[in-house]
Amino acid sequence: MEKGLSVEIYRWNLGDCSNKGLSSRVNKCTLVGKNIPKIFEVKEDAPAVQIVERNLNSGLYLTAYPVKEDGTVDNNCMFGGTFIYTSDSRFPARYPVPLHDRKE
């Protein structure tokens, strides 16, 4: 079973904008990836997400996406208003990372 770092989902308090995405069903996720510590197991109530790095003109941009059953990143999603974060110093950013889990 895959393991990673436990992260909380932060959402807008006036409702769900993920269109029944991952963040509408759970309050936390398990961040997985190459340089992520293998501590907590991926579970149904803490599904796997992975951070994708992009270099844009304004610099490095981090985005989290759900991980599909086959282990690949589901980057066919858009931002639905939620973020992932943890106070654990091993989190790869110093700020909440947008979670792209909305599908039309």
pTM exceeds 0.75 for this model = yes
Residues with Cβ within 8 Å of residue 67, at least 6 apart in sequence: 32, 47, 48, 49, 50, 73, 74
Q: What is the pLDDT of residue 88?
A: 95
Asked whether the predicted pLDDT for residue 13 surpasses 90, the reply is no
Q: What is the pLDDT of residues 55-91, one digit of tens each?
A: 988 888 999 999 999 999 998 999 999 999 999 999 9
For the chain, the domains span 3-102
